[in-house]
Amino acid sequence: MSPTNTNTAERLAGYEQRYHELAAQLATIGLIHSGSITRRYTRCATPGCKCHADPPQPRGPYYQWTAKLNGKTVTRRLTENEAQLYQEWIDNDRQLRRLIQQMREVAAKATELKLKQAAIP
Ligand SMILES: [Zn+2]
């Protein structure tokens, strides 16, 4: 092999190793869920209520899950415990998508090198 080919093979091996490391991380991700969680406090319309006091004491926190399903926004009221679970799953989902994005980037470099190798007679 020429020095150029050796270099290409080494780079390819590096990308493939990185790719397999990322794939192994995928397997460790816990349950996933779509959507996002919001935490809100509310104030009522009653004058003199403590939620209008100084400092205000609004009601809450209230937790809500929101997601887009088939182009439609769907919401669900959650307890604090449910919100914690959802948040964990949603964080896992984000991590999963980040890993897949990294795999795509590494795969793009690796496949480009593979095609170059294949083009060498
Ligand atoms: Zn109030």
CA separation, residue 35 to residues 12, 23, 27, 94, 121 (Å): 37, 24, 22, 10, 50
**Structure-token match 């009221």, residue found:** 77
Distance CA 81, CA 18 (A): 37
User: For residue 60, how far is its CA from the centre of ligand 1 (angstroms)?
Assistant: 11
pLDDT digits (tens, 9 = 90+) for 88-113: 999 999 999 999 999 999 999 999 99
User: For residue 63, how far is its CA from the centre of ligand 1 (angstroms)?
Assistant: 18
Per-residue pLDDT, averaged over 57-68, amounts to 93
Please calculate the CA angle 72-65-102 and round it to the nearest 5 degrees.
85
Mean residue pLDDT of the chain comes to 93
User: For residue 58, how far is its CA from the centre of ligand 1 (angstroms)?
Assistant: 7
User: For residue 43, how far is its CA from the centre of ligand 1 (angstroms)?
Assistant: 5
Where does the pLDDT of residue 16 fall: very low under 50, low under 70, confident under 90, or very high at 90 and above?
Answer: very high
Beta bridge partners of 38: 64
